[in-house]
Amino acid sequence: MEVAQILCMNKGGGETSYTQNSSLQQKIISDTMPITEKAVEAIISTDATSASPPQSIAIADLGCSSGRNALLLISDTINLVYAKCKRLGYPLPEVSVFLNDLFNNDFNSIFGSLPDFHRRLKDTNGDEVGRCFISGMPGSFYGRLFPKHSLNFVHSSSSLHWLSKVPEGLEGEDKIRMNKGKLYVSRTSPPSVLLAYAAQFRNDFSRFISSRSEEMVSGGRMVLSFMGRKSMDPTASGTAHQWELLAEALTTLVSRGLVDAEKLESFNAPYYSPCMEEVRMEIEKEGSFDIDHFEEFDVEWDDLAEGTNSGLKSLSRGQRVAKTIRAVVETMLESHFGFGGEIMDELFERYGAIVEDYLLQNTVTNTNLVISFVKK
């Protein structure tokens, strides 16, 4: 399964859209903003005698998706650049912004919101703004996207836990499903499945790092945040609960004849939540970056950002989680299982009920990793 062909957040602005159900991702961007702020300010020299002020700055947001989050990080980043330059008495640089996601991303909705974005930028900065050029850059970030030495700042949030493809080696001899009935790694997964997922992550992440190494200028900064885990053991408690509960909901539909059992047995999520040691190892092996900051932080499954619409707040915890997950994985499920409409509605109603029961009995959070780098 090539992720570039089937991974796409739900488009539009309807009830199940990513736009309406991405408050958790917005909160992650907000929670990591102090780290982003430090990285962005470091791009602007604080010593005018040793370095000339930058005339232009190039920013890339990798895995930008769509909806309100797509321009949130960019807006905050440009405001930081302007504020720092004004404090130092520098002229405002021209800013080039590149918004990257896979080919099926809803770029049209982003471009449609640009007039409002530019108006807000002027309002925030009292009309003291420099030239700002924004463009889309569709394609996989697991390869080169930009010319050599062209980027000053790279950011990616809630994206790098998606693999470029489902790992190879998940079928044994005679096409036997090695991870039967599971959507992701679990305690019952054989060692070969764990090794396949870990190998795919190493391959993807090393390609991501080496690609950015060629594209970034020396002294450029990069901030990444994505799903991870605390334990070295990928099957440890708390690392894959949401996938396991989704598998339970799908199994219920299989028992009712609504979902093909073979389809469930053959589905494996193109997803991996690494531990800090796995990430650090790939960064150090590539050798082009110094790690400036690296930490784990937890978010609750149904965390909401400030200003979240009242409709989402009025839902139960299980319903909020179900809507958040649906907005992310629906296109992938529809592509593999071949159903949508009422069956998809029923799947996520069931999933929400399962999650609600689970949260009543357990205190659980998702672990996120955030890393800030400096290009050597």
- 237 DSSP assignment: T
- Write the pLDDT tens digit of every residue in 229-256: 999 998 886 778 899 999 999 999 999 9
Rounded Cα–Cα distance for residues 292 and 163 (Å): 25
Could you tell me the two tokens for 329? 């994985």
Q: Which pLDDT belongs to residue 340? A: 84
Sequence-ordered list of residues with C-beta below 8 angstroms from that of 5, at least 6 positions apart, any chain:
104, 335
- Residue among 337, 74, 115 nearest 346 (CA): 337
Q: Which pLDDT belongs to residue 171? A: 74
Q: Which pLDDT belongs to residue 303? A: 79
**Strand intervals (E) in 158-205:** none
Partners of 98 in the beta sheet? 60, 135
**Strand intervals (E) in the chain:** 56-62, 94-100, 132-136, 151-157, 216-228, 289-300, 365-375
Spatial contact of 72 and 29, defined as CB atoms under 8 Å apart: yes
Q: Which pLDDT belongs to residue 1? A: 56
Q: Which pLDDT belongs to residue 225? A: 98
Rounded Cα–Cα distance for residues 242 and 369 (Å): 18
- Record the pTM: 0.94
Sequence-ordered list of residues with C-beta below 8 angstroms from that of 157, at least 6 positions apart, any chain:
25, 28, 29, 32, 63, 73, 224, 225, 226
Partners of 62 in the beta sheet? 100
The secondary structure of the chain in percent helix, strand, coil, rounded to multiples of 5, reads 45, 20, 35
| Count of residues making up the chain | 376
Could you tell me the two tokens for 88? 């130092």
Distance of CA 266 to the CA centre of its chain: 25
User: Could you please report the per-residue DSSP string of 313-331?
Assistant: HTS-HHHHHHHHHHHHHHH
Pairing of strands 94-100, 56-62: parallel
Pairing of strands 94-100, 289-300: unpaired
Rounded Cα–Cα distance for residues 24 and 242 (Å): 14
Q: Which pLDDT belongs to residue 2? A: 67
- Write the pLDDT tens digit of every residue in 294-336: 999 999 888 775 656 656 677 899 999 999 999 999 999 999 9
Residues of the chain falling short of pLDDT 70: 1-2, 46-51, 172-176, 237, 305-312
